[in-house]
Structure 1
Amino acid sequence: MIKKLLAVLFVFNCTLSFAQTIKTDILVIGGGASGTAAAIQGARSKLKTMLIEQGPWLGGSMISGGMCIIDGNRNLPSGIWGEFRRRVRDFYSKTPGYDTAYNATLRFEPYTGAAILKKITDTVKNLTVKLNTPFTGIKKDGIGWDVSVSLDGKTATIKAKVVIDATETGDVAAKAGETFVYGFDSKKQTAEALAPDNESSQLQDLTWIAILKDFGALADKTIPRPEGYDATAYACLKGKNIKQMLNDGRLPNDKYMIKWAECGNQFPVTADNLKPENREAFYAKARLHTLGLIYYLQTELGYKNLGLDDGFTTPDHLPYIPYLREAGRATKGLVRMMLDDVYKPYDRESKLYRTAIAVGDASPGQHYTDANAPKINYPPFPAYGVPLGAIVLKDLDNLLVTEKAMSVTHLVNASTMYPSVQMAIGQGAGATAAFCAFFKTTTQNLNVRIIQGELLDFKAWIMPFTDVKPTDPYFRAMQQIGASGLLKGVHKTEGNVTRLLFQPDSLVATSEIKPTLEEIYTRGFLWFNKEKPGPVFTVGNLLSFISETTLTDPHTLEIAMQKAWKEQYKFASPFDLKRPVTRREFAILANRFFNPFARSVDIAGRMVN
């Protein structure tokens, strides 16, 4: 009997030990916009993926933080972000007054966004999601990592080949040993023309958002007077157009997102406030500040009919987390994304645009209650690509960072931190992690083109060309030619927005393509010396170059191309060797026949021989 009991206990202990150690290819820590997208992509790339989130919802700032009016990337519906966007629009398509236009600002109720993300993740094979699961520690294990978490109230170890730190505050990378910089970089440090002369630790304010619901004119939803309430803190609102401010934050079903500047619910934050040991007490003060604003709105401004929506299950019905715009940024990324990578991507010595794994266009915000904070006069902000090296840590193999911990400058973070941009970045991080896990390698041996190719397979964008829609059958060809640098995007400013255009119907200038063709192809220099094409490249020039690089008989190629021109490629213009070739025609045929995208580039975007 004793022997049998000992045997049972032995089996039980083995089972318990097994349950406390979990193995996975990819571990994503943090279920925000980037973390959720990273986990989805990692799993869709057929790698075993686990996502842990310390809160009850996925979505981070965008959902758990109530930031549910999304303007950024509305012209760039890349991959998983585009999928989420479509699902939200489909959900509300029959809601009266809901704007379902292609590039309309996205508006949704937070719990609807959470339900949509849950539905997506529930249907992804190879993906395990654990909510209410705090991260507690991390240590290196060979080329992978051992991560400690609190799972169902017990400590568990997750052994992962690759870890993605998608926390809002870079907690995982910090515990792994990464160092961070906070606030403004100086002009001397980054050589950015818009940077202030002196560095500053000043962070953008956070906002503890509130979601209010209109319960009808006769309703009284006044909350109890918050602790420490001071009406003078919100007095500047008496001169504001409150109805317009509410309308700007309008959500479906008579709800409003309250994210007000100045004496609204912005709240100053410091690096010290964000330390794990100080965070809880600081966040409690920020919540009280927002509750004070709601109480002021109800009692001083007469909006008793507006009450806190009960979608969040917190005791005060405020979101689970704040909308945090800035935290510590990694100091040791493989590359550091600068403002010139946004405004002048083609003029830089490094060609980081060639390594992009995500796209963004969010206008940079400047949210400071401190009147002495530096004010940056950003010119109209262009759409841009996010380089692969900005999410990779130089000294910590197989640990990737997203959210505010990326290797970018303060001025760039003001855009890349935006939730829809982060969802695109997260997908890029997921594909990068999948590359390392699949090939059993480290982040020191990344293949940019393979990672980008995987992203394109899953409908993600690597070039922010807003005039080429993803429904175009040759969308990928134009993305790949753009990423090669053979045909460069053109900035076009409209008001406060600058778009990056491919201009597919424009003509191809010989001076634009010659440097890259000679850089990529050894026979290119000889061809240009022999053919001496004019200022505008023609269909005949293109066919001649294809013949030269593929060693195809010119006459045979011409006959085949004439037949395929309309039947296969669906070109609208006539086949005429003397006619100038359009950028669309050039991109499709170049991608098909001599494929410059296949040429490897390093992490700085330089061609690899």
Structure 2
Amino acid sequence: MIKKLLVLLLMLNCSSVFAETIRTDVLVVGGGASGVAAAIQSARSNVKTMLTEQGPWLGGSITAGGMCILTGNRNLASGIYAEFRARVRDVYKMRLGYDTTRNAPLVFEPATGAAILKKMADTVKNLTVKMNTRFTSVKKEGTGWVVTIIEGGKPLTIKAKIVVDATELGDVAAGAGVLLTAGFDSRSDTKEALAPQNATNQIQDISYLAVLKNFGRGAGRTIPRPEGYDAGQYACLKNADVKKLLAATALPNDKYLLNPGDCGNQYSVTSNDLIPENREATFRKAKLRTLGLIYYLQTERGFKNLGPADDFPTADHLPYLPFIRENQRSAGLVRMVLDDIYTPYNRQSKLYRTSIAVGDALPGHYYSAAGVPTVNYPPFPAYSIPLGAVVVKDQENLLVTEKALSVTHLVNGSVTDPAVQMAIGQGVGATAAYCVFFETTTKNLRPRVIQGEILDHKGMLMPFADIKTTDRDYRPIQQVGATGMLQGIQKAAGQTAEVLFMPDTDVRTDEVQPLMNELYARAFLWFNKEKPGELFTVANLLSYISEMTLRDPKNLQLETRKAWKSYYHFPAEFNLSRPVTRREFAVLANRFFNPFARKVDISGKMVN
């Protein structure tokens, strides 16, 4: 009897050594802003999806990292990010002084943001979320992947067709052997005029943020003197207007986000400091830097009434993780460079045609180390993120977000903004779902199909700040804009530049003729015959439609006249002789000859 019990116990013990194995179509590793959005979109696209997160909160930088004031994409809020914004505002809209204007920065308490993201994820069918699970390994199996995580102290093996690396530091990509680079790229490598002559491995500083609370006049909230405290490290704040700094980062409920720009809480790192074996020591030193900042404000500047709020249930009430601005970047199918932002229409590759998201965040440049190259960006335009930048080049069915995107260092400073990352995550989720739904791999991506799914879920492809997602003609304008037939117009304002569609302006013949000729072989004959003037008229457009679609010209004119107000709701009167507006052109072109239906490859080149 005893022998049988021993054998049984031995068998049970042996079985527990082997990891449990589960299967899913899409696995998203990392529950930050991009990871949550990717998982939600993949599941909403009717694909079985699993999301794993190593910490107790969803949201990454914007919750567990404390970056709870989001200024990026506030003019371009769409899709899942717009949904998140709306839910946050619903929580706070009745609070006195809370700014609910359409393009105001999004401000919230970290725990509130985490709760909202959890609720969003919990209501999505086809989505399983596993919290407090640590990624340990990844390996290839056929066209899919085998990922091991630790759940409840035990290994769990997950087999997935598509894996999304949404970790803060690109751990899955590194584990899969993806080619990675870090730091400043050289000018000879990227051909970017603003890049330095020589490459360096210096990346942007990391920062532990802090949520402080005003506990009232006379309160004494001074924390213990941090280990290694040196008041000289905070001399940059000696004469600073601390009240003004805090007012600029005010949160609801008498709280403040302590993140004084380039002073006080930055900690200089290289990518080597962020590899797994060095990470804990690096984060500890960065945390001490921020604790020292709090102590300095309390003791040297007299703000004893300010202390860490209890938003984070950690021993020191600092966030679960530091705010990480940069790390290693993957080699993708394409690499996004500055010219794809400043001059997207003038490049040989037309990456904007493959857009899966948009961004408008001003690039960060946070370095406390001496000798780091200074970059003076001209007014920074809003831009599109190309599909190929999230697809790893040499590893099939592996997609990347966060700091592992295939971009240059100078682009990275903008695309890693958390609000931009949430938009990118939605595009990545649609891409993952496409591969599963069509039973294909990342070697056979069709950008137009993926973009259609993104638009179906109110995402944005072109960064037109003057065309809201609620606009009646949002989709045709987005689709025609994504062809480049009608190009966005940059309008600089200070350090940034909006990209506008300007729907009520007239269409010029020279802007639409190149692509119209490319779409149809016989379009060249039509232009030679009609010889439209400098401005393209309503009559010109209807004539072109008639010629290319073989519709009777008189019937087309009659039908369009009848539908002009009743169906299209165009504000201007129907008049054949006047110039057609960009809105009218986009809507009619999209309906009748649909340039968006023309396939494009991963570089944006049109293919038959």
- TM-score normalised per structure 1: 0.97
Maintained 8 Å contact 2:19/2:154: no
Question: What are the equivalent positions in structure 2 for 1:528-607 lying under 5 Å apart?
Answer: 528-607=527-606
C-alpha distance in 2 between matches for 1:286 and 1:12: 44
Maintained 8 Å contact 1:110/1:311: yes
C-alpha distance in 1 between matches for 2:475 and 2:5: 64
Per-residue Cα deviation, 1:183-232 (whole angstroms, up to 9, x for no partner): 10111111101111111111111110011011111211111111111112
Equivalent in the alignment of 1:160: 160
C-alpha distance in 2 between matches for 1:554 and 1:154: 71
Per-residue Cα deviation, 1:5-32 (whole angstroms, up to 9, x for no partner): 99x9999999989981111010000001
Equivalent in the alignment of 2:290: 290
Confirm whether residue 172 of structure 1 aligns to residue 146 of structure 2. Answer: no
Equivalent in the alignment of 2:23: 23
Q: Percent identity?
A: 64
Q: Alpha carbons of 1:258 and 1:528: their partners in 2 closer, same or farther (altered >3 Å)?
A: same
Equivalent in the alignment of 1:226: 226
Per-residue Cα deviation, 1:118-167 (whole angstroms, up to 9, x for no partner): 11001011101111000110111111101001122211110100000001
Question: What are the equivalent positions in structure 2 for 1:138-157 lying under 5 Å apart?
Answer: 138-157=138-157
Question: What are the equivalent positions in structure 2 for 1:446-465 lying under 5 Å apart?
Answer: 446-465=445-464
C-alpha distance in 1 between matches for 2:14 and 2:46: 29
Equivalent in the alignment of 1:492: 491
Equivalent in the alignment of 1:519: 518
Confirm whether residue 277 of structure 1 aligns to residue 285 of structure 2. Answer: no
Equivalent in the alignment of 1:62: 62
Residue type of the partner of 2:203? L
Residue type of the partner of 2:400? V
Maintained 8 Å contact 1:72/1:421: yes
Equivalent in the alignment of 1:503: 502
Q: What SS class does the counterpart of residue 253 from structure 2 fall into?
A: coil
C-alpha distance in 1 between matches for 2:315 and 2:14: 40
Q: CA deviation at 1:369?
A: 0.7
C-alpha distance in 1 between matches for 2:14 and 2:521: 62
Confirm whether residue 105 of structure 1 aligns to residue 109 of structure 2. Answer: no
Question: What are the equivalent positions in structure 2 for 1:352-501 lying under 5 Å apart?
Answer: 352-501=351-500
Per-residue Cα deviation, 1:540-568 (whole angstroms, up to 9, x for no partner): 11111111111111111111111111110
Maintained 8 Å contact 2:350/2:604: yes
Equivalent in the alignment of 1:344: 343
Q: What SS class does the counterpart of residue 311 from structure 1 fall into?
A: coil
Deviates most, 401-410 or 492-501: 492-501
C-alpha distance in 1 between matches for 2:563 and 2:10: 71
Residue type of the partner of 1:57? W
Alignment length (residue pairs): 607
Residue type of the partner of 1:21? T
Maintained 8 Å contact 2:250/2:256: yes
- TM-align CA RMSD: 2.0
Per-residue Cα deviation, 1:59-80 (whole angstroms, up to 9, x for no partner): 1111110001111101000211
Q: Alpha carbons of 1:131 and 1:89: their partners in 2 closer, same or farther (altered >3 Å)?
A: same
Per-residue Cα deviation, 1:354-408 (whole angstroms, up to 9, x for no partner): 0010000000011111231111010110000000000001110000011111110
Q: CA deviation at 1:235?
A: 2.1
Maintained 8 Å contact 1:260/1:266: no
Q: CA deviation at 1:413?
A: 0.1
Equivalent in the alignment of 1:310: 310
Q: Which runs of 5+ in 1 are unaligned?
A: none
C-alpha distance in 2 between matches for 1:248 and 1:559: 58
Maintained 8 Å contact 2:19/2:155: no
Q: What SS class does the counterpart of residue 31 from structure 2 fall into?
A: coil
Confirm whether residue 117 of structure 1 aligns to residue 89 of structure 2. Answer: no
Residue type of the partner of 1:307? G
C-alpha distance in 1 between matches for 2:460 and 2:523: 29
Q: Alpha carbons of 1:90 and 1:600: their partners in 2 closer, same or farther (altered >3 Å)?
A: same
C-alpha distance in 2 between matches for 1:18 and 1:282: 33
C-alpha distance in 1 between matches for 2:252 and 2:189: 45
C-alpha distance in 2 between matches for 1:137 and 1:415: 29
Q: What SS class does the counterpart of residue 429 from structure 1 fall into?
A: helix
Q: Alpha carbons of 1:19 and 1:275: their partners in 2 closer, same or farther (altered >3 Å)?
A: closer
Residue type of the partner of 1:149? I
Maintained 8 Å contact 2:73/2:361: yes
Q: CA deviation at 1:260?
A: 1.8
Maintained 8 Å contact 2:133/2:149: yes
Equivalent in the alignment of 1:323: 323
Maintained 8 Å contact 1:59/1:117: yes
Q: Which runs of 5+ in 2 are unaligned?
A: none
Q: What SS class does the counterpart of residue 238 from structure 2 fall into?
A: helix
C-alpha distance in 2 between matches for 1:10 and 1:508: 79
Residue type of the partner of 2:350? K
C-alpha distance in 1 between matches for 2:71 and 2:562: 45
Q: CA deviation at 1:263?
A: 3.8
C-alpha distance in 1 between matches for 2:503 and 2:337: 28
C-alpha distance in 1 between matches for 2:11 and 2:84: 45
Q: Alpha carbons of 1:128 and 1:10: their partners in 2 closer, same or farther (altered >3 Å)?
A: farther
Residue type of the partner of 1:556? N
Deviates most, 13-22 or 397-406: 13-22
Q: CA deviation at 1:314?
A: 1.2
C-alpha distance in 2 between matches for 1:324 and 1:398: 26
Confirm whether residue 244 of structure 1 aligns to residue 249 of structure 2. Answer: no
Equivalent in the alignment of 2:261: 261
C-alpha distance in 2 between matches for 1:449 and 1:348: 20
Regions of 4+ moved over 4 Å:
8-19
Q: Alpha carbons of 1:12 and 1:79: their partners in 2 closer, same or farther (altered >3 Å)?
A: farther
- TM-score normalised per structure 2: 0.97
C-alpha distance in 1 between matches for 2:288 and 2:14: 48
Q: CA deviation at 1:239?
A: 1.2
Q: Alpha carbons of 1:511 and 1:148: their partners in 2 closer, same or farther (altered >3 Å)?
A: same
Per-residue Cα deviation, 1:476-509 (whole angstroms, up to 9, x for no partner): 1100000011100011112222010101000010
Equivalent in the alignment of 1:33: 33
Q: What SS class does the counterpart of residue 466 from structure 2 fall into?
A: coil
